Amino acid sequence: MVWRRIFQPEDEPESQSEAEGPPPEQPQRAVPPHIAERLNLQPRRRGSAVELRRRLARLENQREQTQFDIAQGELALEDDNPWKQRVALLTETLETVEADRKRVEQIDPEPFWQVPPVPITDPTIRIENDVASVGYTVGDERFTYEEPLDWAERGHQIARMELQLVEGQPEAVLPETVPAELREPLLAHLDHSLFVFATVLRDRHLDEEPLPTGTTLADLAWPCPDCGGWMDFRGRCQACARRRMRLQELFQERSRLLNERAAEIEEQHRIAERLPLARKQLRDIELQISELKQKVADTDESES
């Protein structure tokens, strides 16, 4: 209808921007080829140079370690080297230990003096609050041994403590006729053997076994069939026990020295046998270092 066009302009654009349209594209300036190549290759080259230097540092550390191995291998092949010196010292110590062992194995006669058969009477054992007290009389001297109060209980089993002398003097039962040179060793033995006898009384009472009867002081100091010294009520000789303990110590020391000497010999052979391989590794490392240094130089030149 014609009358509707009177008040409506024909084909008027809605906005100025639509009327103007999109702005024309600006022409892009071309980057010169040599600059584009530097922009594209610079990060990669920089990263490559850093990695090359890291590899070079690792190889130089390997070279130092390999050079040390070569020096050790050459030292191990010398006639006088630290390993042979240590082996000689260990061998000398082994000879000393072996001489001590032979000397200890020789059983020298121990001093002995026959103790009179003084009766041991009136044994009493009391258990109060799981703490044992043992007493007996030797001649006219009363001895009493007690467990300390700080006993320990492990699970359902009580760990018995060693008895301690609380009454009596071992010197009182030492006969006056004992020679002067034997009084001290015999007194030391009686002190130990009186304790052993008290322990036997306690243990038999706890195990509900019969107590020994007719015991005398001579039963606490009778002769050892091996060394001739004194044995306690259980038939144990302290001199023989000390000798066995010393032999055990010497045996352990001998084993330790033998192991150390074998380890020194093995280490010397291992280092000497590795020498040809270490020399070959050093040649390979030197070649790799030379190649990497050339690559680093080429990379630095291209970046400059």
Per-residue tens of pLDDT for the chain, all 304 residues: 444 444 455 555 444 444 455 555 555 566 565 555 555 544 445 457 788 889 999 999 999 999 999 999 999 999 999 999 999 999 999 999 999 999 999 998 999 999 999 999 999 999 988 889 999 999 999 999 999 876 545 444 456 678 999 999 999 999 999 999 999 999 999 999 999 999 999 999 999 999 999 999 999 999 999 999 999 999 999 999 999 999 999 999 999 999 999 999 999 999 999 999 999 999 999 999 999 988 888 887 776 6
Structural domain total, the chain: 2
Q: Are residues 85 and 133 in the same domain?
A: no
* Residue 44 maps to a domain: yes
Q: Are residues 59 and 155 in the same domain?
A: no
Residues with Cβ within 8 Å of residue 226, at least 6 apart in sequence = 107, 237, 240
List strand residue ranges (DSSP E) for the chain, in order. Answer: 120-128, 131-138, 141-146, 152-154, 157-159, 164-167, 222-223, 230-231
Structure tokens at 242: 């000390």
**For residue 213, which amino acid is it?**
T
pLDDT score, position 52: 87
Measure the CA dihedral 80/83/84/87, to 10°. 160
* Residue 88 maps to a domain: yes
Residue 86 lies in domain: 36-103+273-303
Q: Are residues 62 and 134 in the same domain?
A: no
Residue 196 and residue 157 in contact, taking contact as beta carbons nearer than 8 Å = no
Whole-number CA gyration radius for the chain: 48
pLDDT score, position 6: 44
Residue by residue, DSSP assigns 102-138 as: HHHHS-PPPP--PPP--BEEEEEEEEETTEEEEEEEE
- Picking from 107, 159, 109, the residue whose alpha carbon sits closest to that of residue 130 is 159
Residue 221 and residue 193 in contact, taking contact as beta carbons nearer than 8 Å = yes
pLDDT score, position 48: 74
Query: What is the dihedral sign for C-alpha 159, 165, 170, 173?
Result: negative
* Residue 4 maps to a domain: no
- pTM for the full model? 0.66
- Regarding beta strands 141-146 and 152-154, do their DSSP bridges make them parallel or antiparallel, or are they unpaired? unpaired
Q: Are residues 128 and 220 in the same domain?
A: yes
Q: Are residues 200 and 173 in the same domain?
A: yes
Residue 77 and residue 268 in contact, taking contact as beta carbons nearer than 8 Å = no
Contacts 24+ apart (CB under 8 A), 179-185: 179/113, 181/111, 182/111, 182/113, 185/111
N- to C-terminal Cα separation, the chain? 79
Residues with Cβ within 8 Å of residue 297, at least 6 apart in sequence = none
* Paired residues of 135 in beta bridges: 124, 144
**Torsion angles phi and psi, residue 249, rounded to 5:** -60, -45
Q: Are residues 86 and 136 in the same domain?
A: no
Structure tokens at 170: 């071992």
* Residue 268 maps to a domain: no
pLDDT score, position 259: 98
1: DSSP letter: -
* Residue 8 maps to a domain: no
CA distance 289 to 83: 33
pLDDT score, position 33: 58
Domain boundary among 236, 259, 281: 236
pLDDT score, position 25: 57
- Picking from 186, 146, 139, the residue whose alpha carbon sits closest to that of residue 166 is 146
Q: Are residues 214 and 140 in the same domain?
A: yes
Residues with Cβ within 8 Å of residue 19, at least 6 apart in sequence = 13
pLDDT score, position 47: 53
* Residue 15 maps to a domain: no
Domain boundary among 221, 236, 251: 236
* Residue 212 maps to a domain: yes
Domain boundary among 189, 214, 236: 236
CA distance 14 to 43: 51
**Torsion angles phi and psi, residue 11, rounded to 5:** 50, 50
Q: Are residues 154 and 61 in the same domain?
A: no
* Residue 112 maps to a domain: no
